Structure 1
């Protein structure tokens, strides 16, 4: 294996980890009555919708990369470990951060950066 493959495996694992963490965070915002007061308005709904769209897009790109560009043992091992570590990482951060607009915007920014990395490597 060459160094480029290790980079792709790392990007894949980080993407699966980020998607899994985002799903855990987003699960706390539905139904709408469970959202913090700052995210109940129209702006909060738009931000949450964008993060949901970024989560789905990154999940698609990571799975596509795994199926088409990586050896299966690495897909299963790296993806599985990233998937299992996400709830633990979510618990390590304060709930006040996750429930704040800064938390949801931070997650969206991380997802957007990873999605751009996938697009640059695979589409352009």
Structure 2
């Protein structure tokens, strides 16, 4: 189970705590933020890219396959009708057979974050006011 704690005292800058790690989220200056960290959509894309890379590396290590450098580019799009999608490109630096490449492409579609995003996940929200 994963969890994060977020604190926002004022403005758009957000302080995120995940286990012992602290990072910021913010919006770019053009959207009224102070650009002290990635935007929420950039963090979502980073989660997808990191999960893809980590899962591929773990799978290949178990198989004894040399992947070399892994690069994942992810882009969020919303078309004029409001339909949202994510484009993901994975580049592997290893010398892989066509069968290995096909299997790794299948693994990309089975990473935990990919599956969560594709199926949609219900969100239950509780609002408390402590004023």
Q: Which has the larger radius of gyration?
A: 2
**TM-score past 0.5 threshold:** no
Q: What is the TM-score of this pair, normalised by structure 1? A: 0.32
More helix by share: 1
Greater per-residue strand proportion: 2
**Which structure exhibits the higher relative contact order, with contacts defined as CA atoms closer than 8 Å and separated by 6 or more residues?**
1
